[in-house]
Amino acid sequence: MHFFLNGERQDSQELSGGFNLLCYLRTNARLTSVKNGCGEGACGTCTVLVEGKAQRACKLKLRQVANKRVVTVDGLNPREKEIYSLAFASSGAVQCGFCTPGMIMSAKALLDINPTPTDGEIKQALRGNLCRCTGYVKIVEAVARAAALLRGEEMLEPQPQVCGIGSRYLRPDAAAKTLGEAVFTDDVILPGMLHAAVLRPQWPRIKLHSISTASVKALPDVVAVLTAEDIPGEKSHGYIKKDWPVLVGLGEETRYLGDALAIVVAETPTSAALALSQLEVVYDVLPPLSSPQAALAAGAPELHVGGNILSATRLQRGDVELTLSQCSHVVTAQYTTPMT
């Protein structure tokens, strides 16, 4: 079995198995332009074209692309690369750039079959691509301009190389970010680099009794399996209070789905993930506290040492009750804000 990646045939023994396309692209093919933003098919940063259709690489097994054509942003022709880079840069649609290559592929999937899309059609094509930096106004403008450039209605013009007060200047890293050439932390590849996978609870609140690691340590490519007992120093960290464990220890409770129970270190991401799935964990599932009201209720379990209140501040100026009794109007309400 095989598939074609940016026009080149790929033969892989893993094609008949469950090997993930995103992992293959980033690890085997070294195409780090395809970003791993969530691994759950939600953000669209790993969007590629499969037989011309926009697909999320993290949701595809290699066997699903057997005998098919897969195109990443690296496979665009030189004119397309120039057009998309200019359109996104001149429209101000590039910020951190992590999501941009995936958006380019969604845009290409649309423009290849619809060279004159409406704004509504552009938004529909980008519905699976999340941008964490900004709104989508500039991104929609950029795709519309790319369409006009591809149709020949606008011309590629040389951009000014000197910036100054009163002049417009494109950000110098826009092209690299648009085409996935900018290097993020997860894109760094070093000789002999190891890969880690973290075991997290399936329920928000559990009490951990044991983790069996001996059989996993004996697996091929596994270098180490770490638990809380392997931490020689301070086990908890935090900004206001050091109440967040690096790894939850035996006899302790988790507080949310993101808590870490163990870390597997292996020579490849695939080996690390496989070893992680074979860890044997014994625990009790406990009812979680899912709101501030539940955490403050009488008899609520104390999730943290010292109780569930991180800190309390009370401000009072003058005689509050007397002042309120003298007011013509008193409004009482409960207000909530986002966590940010």
pLDDT given at position 337: 85
Q: Residue 154: what pLDDT?
A: 80
The first and second tokens of residue 60, run together, are 């595809």
Q: Is 19 helix (H, G, I), strand (E, B) or coil?
A: coil
Ramachandran quadrant class, 122 (left: phi over 0; alpha: psi -120 to 50; beta: rest): alpha
User: Considering the domain 1-158+174-187 in this protein, what is its CATH number?
Assistant: 1.10.150.120
Please report which confidence band the pLDDT of residue 170 belongs to, taking 50, 70 and 90 as the band edges.
confident
- Is residue 169 over pLDDT 80? no
Domain range list for the chain: 1-158+174-187, 195-285
- Supply the pLDDT for residue 158: 65
The H-or-E segment that residue 277 falls in is helix 269-277
pLDDT (0 to 100) of residue 11: 87
Per-residue model confidence as pLDDT tens digits over 58-95: 999 998 999 999 999 999 999 999 999 999 998 999 99
**Rounded mean pLDDT of 134-139?**
89
Q: Per residue in 190-218, pLDDT tens?
A: 999 999 999 999 999 999 999 999 999 99
Identical fold between 1-158+174-187 and 195-285: no
> What is the average pLDDT score of the chain?
92
The size of the chain, in residues, is: 340
Task: Determine the Cα–Cα distance for residues 67 and 47; give it in Å rounded to an integer.
Answer: 19
The encoded tokens of residue 25 equal 């692209």
CATH of domain 195-285: 3.90.1170.50
pLDDT band at 161 (very low <50, low <70, confident <90, very high): low
7-16, 155-164, 266-275, range with the lowest pLDDT: 155-164
DSSP state of 248: P
What span, in angstroms and rounded, lies between the C-alpha atoms of 216 and 225? Answer: 8
